[in-house]
Structure 1
Amino acid sequence: MFFVLSKTLGVMALPQNFLIGLTVLGSLLLLTRFFRLGRALVLLSALMLALCGFGPVGNLLLYPLESRFPAWIPSQGAPDGIIVLGASIDVDLSAAHGTPVTTTASDRIIMTAALARKYPSARVVFTGGNPNLISGEAKEADFAARLFESLGIDKSRLIIEGRARNTYENAVFAKAMIDPKPGERWLLVTSAFHMPRSMGLFRKVGFAVEPYPVDWRVGTGRDAFSFTDIAEDGLSRTNIAVREWLGLITYRAAGRIDELLPGPQG
């Protein structure tokens, strides 16, 4: 039930979807005796779409997430393993074409492969099933091994987990599959904006991992206030940020993380 609600309500709450829905509602009200309310809704949604698309809204919401964890320090020594979360492979397109098709989060795969080549003794764990509410049999895990092998990572080093549908299940299933031993050091590779929620979930299930953020969408603090001339880019960043903040709020309310915005410890 939690998974179904998170997918349905989460999609409806995305700013782009919500504002388009508001525009449609307002347009319908223009044909009724509530035309004044309809006009107000259409104007409000148009202004908000413009602000989210061209303004710094997405950047301002993303920056606190992306800057929460610093870059990993390699001087601490080689890790025992590397865990990369899914969402970098488009399941439906990959199944349709019979080959791995990556998304905008492909940095997760690329940097994991680079780390695996740098630390040849480290095990590589990919966790990702099918995150879609209505899904077929194909899973990200079905294509992850092929993708890593094509990037020069030997199959014997790979541990592939294909049941997880969300980040909570990533943490639960990864821990159960790996069964980390005391003293082992595991890196967690995921998008920088997704790292606070991911770290909170892994800590909650008792799996101590070290954050390795990748896939940034905002530069420095000054860039957080910048505008864009392509509305699609601004709306995309706003959608990502709102989805992530909603995820943090939901997981905190459900008791699956201990802090609203998990950060570095110690």
Structure 2
Amino acid sequence: MILFTLLALFFAAIVLRRRARVPLALAGVTLFWLLAAGWLSEPLLAWAQWGMQSVAPPTYATRTVIVMLGGGTEYDDSHKLVPRHDAMVRIATSADIYSACKRTGARCDVVVSGGNPQHHATSEADNYLPYLLQRQVPRSDIVLENRSRTTYENARNVAALLQGERYDSLILVTSAYQMPRALLDFHRFGLTPHPVISNTRQVRVGVLPRYDNLVDADTALHELIGIAQFHVYRLLGWF
């Protein structure tokens, strides 16, 4: 979405600035080639995921709460609504952590936080539930938070769920690119979860443009702008 907006701005500038059409067009083509070929996407993604590669493994206590953030849904070739790739990895990671937690004898709960920002048939949390059940996480230990549309709302709504609840260890599961912003938002609501990275993204740098590199660049820009927005809002007293 961010890259689409940038492309639209380039197009508008080319239309309005007739004398500068050629240099603007060349600048636009060069910029999008650098992004699609990975030369700009790689540092952007590395910046968004900075510091997330060496996170320590979680520790479990008497009562452990595992919070998994939604990662979107999509329709497959048979028009079935399924978790997107990053969400599937988050589900697998959360289930593995739950299993490890239970082996310690602790009480373990999984909070799945994800609403329906894409306006699909069901919310992310409800869509992910069967996949957690398939991975041997019992329904009685799963809490669905299916109203959040943003990372900020994830943190706010999870904080409301946990208010007044006693827990000894709080674990947050999401992808590396989302974790820095998620931690800021959770800290904003007085929660200090231990981060667990479900997956990191990698850019393939080369000569030929790749669509995946544009997706990674857009994702990185979304997270970096979100972090900047958080700090601006804090300075303004809005958060």
Confirm or deny that 1:38 pairs with 2:21: yes
Return the letter of the residue paired with 2:215.
S
Unaligned runs of 5+ in 2: none
Residue of structure 2 in register with 1:106 after alignment? 88
| Equivalent residues, number | 230
Matched residue type, 2:213: G
Amino acid at match of 1:131: P
Return the structure number with greater strand share: 2
Amino acid at match of 2:108: A
Residue 177, structure 1, aligned to residue 164, structure 2? no
TM-score by length of 1: 0.75
Alignment-derived partner of residue 219 in structure 2:
240
With over 3 angstroms needed to count, the CA separation of the structure-2 counterparts of 1:45 and 1:180, relative to structure 1, is farther
**Distance apart, 1:137 and its partner CA:** 6.3
Give 2:38's aligned residue. 55
Letter in 1 for 2:66: I
Percent of matched pairs sharing the same residue: 24
Give the superposition deviation at 1:177: 1.1
Name the CA shift for 1:246/1:112 in 2 (closer, same or farther; >3 Å): same
Summarize deviations over 1:223-249 as a string: whole Å, max 9, x none.
9xx546442122122111111111011
How well do the aligned residues superpose, as a CA RMSD in angstroms? 2.9
Task: Report deviation, 1:181.
Answer: 4.9
CA–CA separation in structure 2 for the residues paired with 1:115 and 1:85: 14
1:130 aligns with 2:116: yes
Asked if 1 retains the 8 angstrom alpha-carbon contact of 2:73 and 2:81, the reply is no
Q: Which amino acid aligns with 1:18?
A: T
In the aligned structure 1, how far is the partner of 2:89 from the partner of 2:209?
A: 22
Instruction: Report the CA distance between 1:217 and its aligned residue.
Output: 1.0
Shift of 1:160: 0.4
The CA distance in 2 between the partners of 1:180 and 1:213, in whole Å, is 27
2:192 alignment partner, one of 208, 224, 227: 208
The alpha carbon displacement at 1:110 in A equals 1.5
Q: CA 1:72–1:41 in structure 2 vs 1: closer, same or farther (change >3 Å)?
A: same
* Structure 1 residues 233 and 192: alpha-carbon distance in aligned structure 2, compared to 1, 3 A threshold: same
Q: What's 1:249 paired with? A: 228
Gaps of 5+ in 1: 1-10, 259-266
- In the alignment, is the contact (CA less than 8 A) between 1:88 and 1:108 conserved in 2? no
Q: Is the 8 A contact 1:129 1:165 kept in 2?
A: yes
Query: 3-state SS of the aligned residue for 1:126?
Result: strand
Higher mean C-alpha deviation, range 176-185 or range 140-149: 176-185
**C-alpha distance in 1 between matches for 2:143 and 2:88:** 19
- The runs of at least 4 aligned residues of structure 1 exceeding 6 Å deviation read none
- Note the C-alpha offset of 1:131: 1.8
Q: For structure 1, which segment, 187-196 or 115-124, has the greater mean C-alpha deviation from structure 2 after superposition?
A: 115-124
Distance 1:138 1:47 in 2: 40
